[in-house]
Amino acid sequence: MRVMFMGTPDIAVGCLDALAKAHNVCCVVTKEDKPKGRGGKIAFSKVKERALELGIDVIQPKTLKDGKFIEVLEKYQPDVIVVVAYGLILPKYVLDFPKYGCVNVHTSLLPKYRGAAPIQWCIIKGEKVSGITTMLMDEGVDTGDILLCEKVQISEDMTAGELHDIYCKIGSNLLLKTLDGLEKGTIVPKKQDDGQCCYAPMLDNENTKINWNMSAKDIINLVRGLNPFPTAYTFLDGKKLKVYRCKAGGGTGSPGEVICSKDKLVVGCADGSVELTELQLEGKRKMPAADFLRGYKIEKGTVLG
């Protein structure tokens, strides 16, 4: 099958590799290069890096809305467009062009967690099971017909980063099964039940900040759902304190109150306390809490926020 691949971050690379082995990837479409780091050096996306290594043509349109991308479609004549975390909305003329449509690999069990951050939100919400869905794209946000799904069990201590790595391993196989089924006509697209949908909105400074008035369980889920990126945070002495790992603590205190800071850092919350086990203070490196406390004195009764 002649495939146009659209993707940008590292989670899309495994799918690109699998497609390059099994199909004819006629070109790769990825977002424009952006400056990165303090020096502002221009950096390629992970997908672009891999495409260049594979010798595949790379296209980087600034927008698809102006209709000019039709020239690219007509040049490469894809049978199918595969989309994995591309980053731009596909207009109708793009969706309608390929014979087999546009297939998206979405990292949730649709219709749950439509939107920008499904991996993080399913953990933040305490889900025990999630997975990957392949779907035929339409003009809505993750509303297209479902093709195939694969479930993944989420353990109590699994982080978003760990779930992401699992998806990288299984997503490519599910994608290949999907394309094979579409080509053979053995897959029957299934409408989504909109009544079962929930959304996974973009993560920002507001919804990644720890609210110490939440329960210990909810705080723990927030922290692991935002590990390793963008990371849950609070403030200590006016400085941003990122929290990478935590667990249920012993004792009680007012929300945000430090109730132990000798050999471990325990903070009060709505129904008890949480022990912060791995953290990073603004301007410092990430480290275990015990190491941090040896170099940074925190008085008992200090309030985080």
Whether the CA torsion 188, 189, 193, 198 is positive or negative: it is: positive
Q: In angstroms, rounded to a whole number, what is the distance separating the alpha carbons of residues 59 and 88?
A: 13
Q: What letter represents residue 151's amino acid?
A: K
Exposure b/e, 15-25, CB count within 10 A at least 16 = b: bbebbbeebeb
Residue 251 pLDDT more than 80? yes
CATH number for the region 2-200 comes to 3.40.50.170
Six-digit token pair at 68?
């000019």
What is the Cα–Cα distance from 291 to 143, expressed in whole angstroms? 47
Mean of the per-residue pLDDT values of the chain: 96
Question: What pLDDT does 230 receive?
Answer: 97
Question: What pLDDT does 270 receive?
Answer: 97
- Yes or no: say if 163 and 124 are a contact pair by the CB < 8 Å rule: no
pLDDT at 34 over 90: no
Residue 226 reports pLDDT greater than 80: yes
The set of long-range contacts for 60-69, using a CB threshold of 8 Å and a minimum separation of 24, is: 60/29, 60/30, 60/31, 60/32, 60/33, 61/29, 61/88, 62/32, 63/88, 64/88, 64/89, 64/90, 64/91, 64/94, 65/91, 67/91, 67/93, 69/94
Digit-coded pLDDT (tens) for 68-96: 999 999 999 999 999 999 999 999 999 99
* Beta bridge partner(s), residue 31: none
pLDDT at residue 66, rounded to an integer:
96
- Please compute the mean of the pLDDT values over residues 2-12 and round it to a whole number: 96
Q: What is d(CA 136, CA 82) in angstroms, rounded to the nearest whole number?
A: 10
- pLDDT tops 80 at residue 119: yes
pLDDT of 37 > 80? The answer is no
Inform me whether the pLDDT recorded for 60 exceeds 80.
yes
Domain boundaries, the chain: 2-200, 216-295
Rounded CA separation 172/89 (Å): 22
CA angle, 245 then 120 then 169, to 5°: 95
What is the distance, to the nearest Å, from the Cα of residue 242 to the centroid of all Cα atoms in its chain?
A: 19
Q: Are 238 and 229 in contact (CB under 8 A)?
A: no
How does pLDDT run across 135-194, given as a tens digit for each residue? 999 999 999 999 999 999 999 999 999 999 999 999 999 999 999 999 999 999 999 999
In angstroms, the CA 220 to CA 215 distance is: 9
Supply the pTM of this predicted model.
0.94
- What burial letters (b/e) apply to 83-94, b meaning 16+ CB within 10 Å? bbbbebebbeeb
Tell me if the domain spanning 216-295 has CATH number 2.40.70.10: no
Q: What percent of the chain has pLDDT over 90?
A: 96
Name the token pair of 154.
């989420």
Read off the pLDDT band of 36 (50, 70, 90).
Answer: confident
| Confidence check: pLDDT of 38 > 80 | no
Largest pairwise CA distance in the chain: 67
What is the per-residue pLDDT for 114? Answer: 97
Q: What pLDDT is attached to residue 40?
A: 79
pLDDT at 41: 85
The mean pLDDT of 89-105, rounded to a whole number, is 97
**217 band by pLDDT with thresholds 50, 70 and 90:** very high
Share of the chain above pLDDT 70, in %: 100
The answer on pLDDT for 42 being more than 90 is no
Write down the pLDDT at residue 234: 98
